[in-house]
């Protein structure tokens, strides 16, 4: 058995990373163990707090979260408290600024950014690299793509922006230096943007094609390690505001967030182990005393004083649903509240669309007490020192609400406390 940790966080998505940073920076010896990367690498890299209530777009995400919390006592925002959401957003912004990847927005204004398809997408905090994309701004948009980067569709984005009442057009380029590459991976392109000679060659191609007063949208690959520098340099060379629009996964902006958390955690003395599923645990009956993780060589036990379980929901493998549609939490076997009925069937076939169109569903997840401790079958805390956070919690519909990162940060911060 390894030397003990004050806290072990299982999962390295927004919830787990936030919980770990909160605890480690409060002086707790913290270990993060995760099977792999979480939502950071899949989502937009923005912090959605609450985009919609009952299908209506909200103007003030934090205020709307307070309304939602009082209307739905089982919603994670009701459990964490909306004060926790406000603090978590602030803590997140400060952390990212310290890591050199600043965010804009205060949580009280819904920013409207173009989605990967050119629809208006409400969010609450955005990395500076996306801030000039706010669709409430008047400048026309020129969407720049690369014919050798397949995961981004400038013509479609521009067409949909036009449909939404925004002036937009598309320009296709060939990424300089990659003329013989048919299909560039996003990480390769992001690393190219980190380099000044690439940006210079690109600006030389693009500059003459820009019109006065336009702002320039690129796929969200403007640098992996030097995104701010790339942004400032391109704006200077092009003489126009520049911003990123999300692409298909992997999300470079989300990877920057993960890397920023990872740097901060390691600098504060935390240990981060990615690639190691937690496969077992030990208890003294009341408390979890150790977790077992799987490594290439052998299984390993880690003693701990407390655990934050942030393994995500069904999409991330924190909850599995068997062929009889019985849901199960994977690490502790905790009971899952299937707050949504199974998908309706049409002619005996399941109808996934109906699953998302139901009037008041929420995804299967864990019920927790006021301290975020998962409940056992009797309705009491399963273990005194086990806490849950993020998409693992029941009661929300993050896909429809656009609340994913807000819930993860607020509950991660509370659990880390
Ligand atoms: C493919 C995919 C697409 C998604 N699309 C959307 C979307 O469009 N809209 C939306 O609102 N939400 C979406 N989500 C969900 C979104 O990622 C989450 O709502 C949010 O990011 C949850 O963050 P989290 O930190 O709770 O968990 P996650 O970011 O899911 O992280 C879970 C972490 O737990 C780890 N883990 C899981 N099981 C174990 C284990 N046994 N041992 C150790 N580690 C473990 C994972 O490796 C990962 O690091 C998507 C998720 C996935 C996986």
Q: Is the CB of 24 under 6 A from ligand 1?
A: no
Bond before 235 cis per omega within 30 degrees: no
Q: Is the CB of 11 under 6 A from ligand 1?
A: yes
| CA–CA dist 285, 271 (Å, integer) | 27
| CA–CA dist 354, 108 (Å, integer) | 32
Residue at token pair 């990872």: 262
Q: Is the CB of 280 under 6 A from ligand 1?
A: no
- Strand 349-350 with 345-346, pairing: antiparallel
Helix or strand holding residue 414 (H, E):
helix 404-416
Q: Is the CB of 133 under 6 A from ligand 1?
A: no
Q: Is the CB of 404 under 6 A from ligand 1?
A: yes
| CA–CA dist 268, 120 (Å, integer) | 38
| CA–CA dist 300, 279 (Å, integer) | 10
Distance (Å) from CA 149 to ligand 1 centroid: 26
Mutate to test the pocket of ligand 1, among 13, 61, 248, 402 (most ligand atoms within 8 A of CB): 13
Q: Which residues on neighbouring strands pair with residue 103, listed in sequence order?
A: 127
Tens digits of pLDDT across the chain (417 residues): 556 999 999 999 999 999 999 999 999 999 999 999 999 999 999 999 999 999 999 999 999 999 999 999 999 999 999 999 999 999 999 999 999 999 999 999 999 999 999 999 999 999 999 999 999 999 999 999 999 999 899 999 999 999 999 999 999 999 999 999 999 999 999 999 999 999 999 999 999 999 999 999 999 999 999 999 999 999 999 999 999 999 999 999 999 999 999 999 999 999 999 999 999 999 999 999 999 999 888 999 999 999 999 999 888 999 998 888 788 999 999 999 865 444 444 444 444 444 444 444 457 899 999 999 999 999 999 999 999 999 999 999 999 999 999 999 999 999 999
Structure tokens of 100? 């050199």
114 CB burial (10 A radius; 0-12, 13-18, 19+):
buried
pLDDT at position 322, please? 84
Q: Is the CB of 249 under 6 A from ligand 1?
A: no
Return the C-alpha torsion angle 220, 226, 230, 236, nearest 10: 150
Residue at token pair 């519909």: 397
What is the DSSP track for 301-342?
A: EEEEEEEEE---SGGGTSEEE-TT--EEETTT----B--SPP
Distance (Å) from CA 43 to ligand 1 centroid: 10
pLDDT at position 270, please? 98
Express the helix, strand and coil content of the chain in percent, nearest 5 each: 35, 25, 40
DSSP state, residue 48: -
| CA–CA dist 201, 17 (Å, integer) | 37
Return the C-alpha torsion angle 279, 284, 288, 290, nearest 10: -50
φ, ψ for residue 176, nearest 5 deg = -60, 135
Q: Is the CB of 246 under 6 A from ligand 1?
A: no
3 CB burial (10 A radius; 0-12, 13-18, 19+):
exposed
Residue closest via CA to ligand 1's atom 33 equals: 11
| CA–CA dist 101, 84 (Å, integer) | 23
Q: Is the CB of 311 under 6 A from ligand 1?
A: yes
Task: Give residue limits of the domains in the chain.
Answer: 2-102+255-416, 140-240
Q: Is the CB of 219 under 6 A from ligand 1?
A: no
Atom of ligand 1 nearest to the CA of 14: 25
The domain made up of 2-102+255-416 has a fold known as FAD/NAD(P)-binding domain (3.50.50)
Q: Is the CB of 34 under 6 A from ligand 1?
A: yes
How many of the other CB atoms lie within 10 Å of CB of 29? 17
pLDDT at position 339, please? 54
Which of 88, 78, 76 has the alpha carbon at shortest distance from 393? 76
Distance (Å) from CA 14 to ligand 1 centroid: 8
| CA–CA dist 411, 76 (Å, integer) | 8
Give yes or no for a contact between 355 and 343, defined as CB atoms under 8 angstroms apart: yes
Distance (Å) from CA 292 to ligand 1 centroid: 21
Mutate to test the pocket of ligand 1, among 16, 36, 38 (most ligand atoms within 8 A of CB): 38
| CA–CA dist 303, 216 (Å, integer) | 52
Residue closest via CA to ligand 1's atom 7 equals: 399
Q: Is the CB of 157 under 6 A from ligand 1?
A: no
Distance (Å) from CA 411 to ligand 1 centroid: 14
pLDDT at position 315, please? 86
Residue closest via CA to ligand 1's atom 36 equals: 311
Atom of ligand 1 nearest to the CA of 48: 11
Residue at token pair 């949504």: 340
Q: Is the CB of 170 under 6 A from ligand 1?
A: no
Mutate to test the pocket of ligand 1, among 88, 293, 316, 352 (most ligand atoms within 8 A of CB): 316
């Amino acid at each position: 058995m390894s030397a003990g940790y004050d806290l072990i966080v299982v999962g390295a998505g927004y919830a787990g990373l936030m919980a770990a940073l909160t605890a480690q920076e409060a002086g707790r010896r913290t270990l993060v163990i995760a099977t792999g990367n979480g939502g950071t690498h899949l989502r937009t890299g923005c912090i959605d707090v609450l985009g919609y209530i009952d299908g209506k777009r909200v103007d003030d995400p934090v205020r709307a979260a307070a309304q939602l919390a009082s209307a739905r006592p089982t919603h994670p925002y009701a459990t964490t408290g909306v004060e926790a959401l406000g603090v978590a957003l602030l803590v997140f912004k400060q952390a990212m600024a310290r890591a050199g990847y600043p965010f804009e927005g205060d949580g009280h204004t819904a920013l409207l950014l173009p989605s990967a398809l050119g629809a208006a997408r409400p969010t609450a905090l955005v990395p500076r690299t996306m801030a000039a994309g706010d669709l409430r701004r008047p400048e026309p948009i020129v969407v720049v793509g690369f014919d050798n980067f397949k995961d981004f569709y400038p013509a479609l984005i521009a067409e949909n922006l036009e449909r939404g009442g925004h002036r937009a057009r598309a320009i296709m380029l060939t990424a300089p230096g990659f003329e013989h590459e048919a299909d560039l991976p996003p990480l390769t392109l992001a690393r190219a943007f980190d380099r000044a000679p690439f940006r210079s060659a690109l600006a030389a191609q693009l500059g003459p094609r820009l019109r006065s007063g336009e702002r320039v949208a690129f796929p969200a690959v403007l640098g992996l390690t030097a995104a701010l520098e790339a942004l400032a340099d391109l704006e200077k060379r092009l003489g126009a505001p520049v911003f990123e629009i999300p692409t298909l996964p992997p999300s470079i902006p989300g990877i920057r967030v993960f890397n920023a958390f990872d740097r901060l955690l390691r600098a504060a003395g935390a240990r981060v182990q990615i690639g190691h599923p937690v496969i077992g645990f030990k208890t003294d009956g009341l408390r979890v005393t150790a977790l077992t993780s799987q490594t290439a060589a052998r299984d390993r036990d880690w003693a701990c004083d407390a655990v934050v379980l942030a393994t995500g929901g069904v999409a991330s493998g924190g909850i599995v649903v068997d062929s009889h549609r019985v849901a199960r939490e994977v690490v502790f076997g905790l009971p899952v509240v299937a707050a949504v009925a199974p998908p309706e069937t049409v002619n005996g076939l399941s109808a996934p669309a109906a699953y998302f169109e139901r009037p008041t569903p929420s995804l299967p997840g864990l019920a927790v007490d006021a301290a975020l401790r998962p409940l056992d079958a009797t309705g009491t805390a399963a273990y005194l020192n086990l806490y849950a956070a993020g998409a693992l919690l029941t009661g929300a519909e993050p896909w429809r609400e656009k609340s994913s990162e807000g819930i993860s940060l607020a509950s991660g911060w509370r659990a880390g406390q």
